Amino acid sequence: MIPLQMELGGKDVCIVLEDIDLDLVAANIIKGGFLYGGRRYITIKVVVVMESIAGGALVGKMNAGVVKLRVGQPEDDCNITPVVTESSSNFIEGLVMDAKEKGATFCPEWVYLIWPLLLDNVRADMRTAWEEPFGFVLPVIKINSNEEGIHRCNASNYTEYII
């Protein structure tokens, strides 16, 4: 038998329940969701959050953190750098447009440049809920119970880690 280690990609999920310090979790979701430009396999790729704290509370705090991220070239003192190829940019834009057409809310308002972007009100039928963007897009899916959060994670073919 030959020892080997495989990385097969994933869509790592952060489940946020009601008994959490919102400031602490928002800061860590921003760090975990946009670390390495979303191009690392073990970063937060989707946030599944209780409906009762999602709206103004958690998403508002996360959005406040996203708008503070600095965008620039790798040699600059910045948090966000360009994606690696035009095809990567086009793929990410396709995920974002699919979510927009199906009703996701852009936080902050989206322009035709791939800035760090929270997508609120994401549903399971949106590609961004389960496809790997390798970019600066972090979807937020609302749930009403712990069990629903676990079910959503287990329903994905891509979930590797639950944070």
Catalytic center residues: 7
CA geometry: angle at 125 spanning 122 and 127, to 5°? Answer: 80
Does residue 155 contact residue 4 with C-beta atoms inside 8 Å?
no
Q: CA-CA distances (angstroms) from residue 102 to 10, 29, 73, 126, 133?
A: 23, 24, 32, 7, 17
d(CA 22, CA 28): 10
Task: State the virtual CA torsion across 101, 103, 104, 105 in degrees, nearest 10.
Answer: 110
